[in-house]
Amino acid sequence: MIAPATPPTRWNHLEPNSKSAYKQLFVKGTRIRARVLYGDAVNEEEPRTPEQIAEDYALPIEAVLEAIAYCQGNPPEIEEDFRREEALMEATGMNDPNYKYHGKSKILSAQEIARIDRQ
């Protein structure tokens, strides 16, 4: 027997950003990705409390808690964004150990970017 699909969660403070290449959710009305807030909360060296994060970004605490809950659910779009970012860095040469010495990245064509997006 196949389990019924879980309906998508309704977020009050999160939404996609149509102007961004990132597929993950952002805090509504901002360019702040939920993963950025979550990263602050789980930072190994200096984890921040949701209250500190809310104050740092001038956001309601509910938005921060929602971002954390969203990321804890491991949505596939965050992994997709990560893979795309890594592929772009590799394709442009930013992963080259000598990149920091020359700082010049390869310019990608629209076709190369489209190929990476399809992966």
pTM, entire model: 0.77
Report the candidate in 81, 49, 46, 44 with the shortest Cα–Cα distance to residue 64. 49
Helix axes 34-42, 50-57, angle to 10 degrees: 130
pLDDT at 4: 47
* More confident position, 27 or 102: 27
Break the chain into its structural domains and give their ranges. Answer: 14-73, 77-118
Q: Average of pLDDT values for 76-85? A: 93
Distances in Å between the Cα of 76 and the Cα atoms of 17, 57, 63, 70, 81 are 16, 25, 20, 11, 9
- Residue 58 has a pLDDT of 98
The pLDDT of residue 8: 57
Q: What pLDDT sits at residue 73?
A: 92
pLDDT tens by residue, 17-35: 999 999 999 999 999 999 9
Reduce the DSSP state of residue 33 to 3 states and report it: strand
Residue 7 or 42, more confident: 42
If DSSP codes are grouped into helix, strand and coil, which group holds residue 7?
coil
Q: Which amino acid is at 11?
A: W
